[in-house]
Amino acid sequence: MRHPRGHFPGVFVLANELAAQGRLTEEQYRFWRAGNDWYDAHYPNPTHVDPSVYDPALHPGAVAWFKASAQELIARVNGYLELLAAHGVECRRLESSDPGRILYEDAYQVVVAAEGGRGER
């Protein structure tokens, strides 16, 4: 399903929305909270570096992609996929050598402007 900002959201946005809507079981909530805390502790949050990176007026459709080299971070996504599947939320993995115009980059990820259909999830 397309996000109100015009792009297809990634697994973290989808899981965060389920949590915000109160749809997670207690066990799922613990997994989600622990997973988000782990990611927050192990990789930079682009908005802490550039608060405007996801600004819908400046960068409509901006989305984050893990770099292929971020295997430890990618491997932990499986639990989120299981959580989404348990709620009937469809999700699929996308890979791209050209996801869009880079707005932010660090050792683990890029945030891109999804221009011309690239960068959509």
Per-residue pLDDT, 60:
82
Q: CA-to-CA distance for 74 and 72, rounded, in angstroms?
A: 6
pLDDT band at 67 (very low <50, low <70, confident <90, very high): very high
Contact status, residue 99 vs residue 112, Cβ threshold 8 Å: yes
Provide the whole-model pTM. Answer: 0.81
What tokens appear for 113 in the block? 């402007």
Least confident of 17-21, 23-27, 43-47, 90-94: 90-94
H or E segment to which residue 33 belongs: helix 26-42
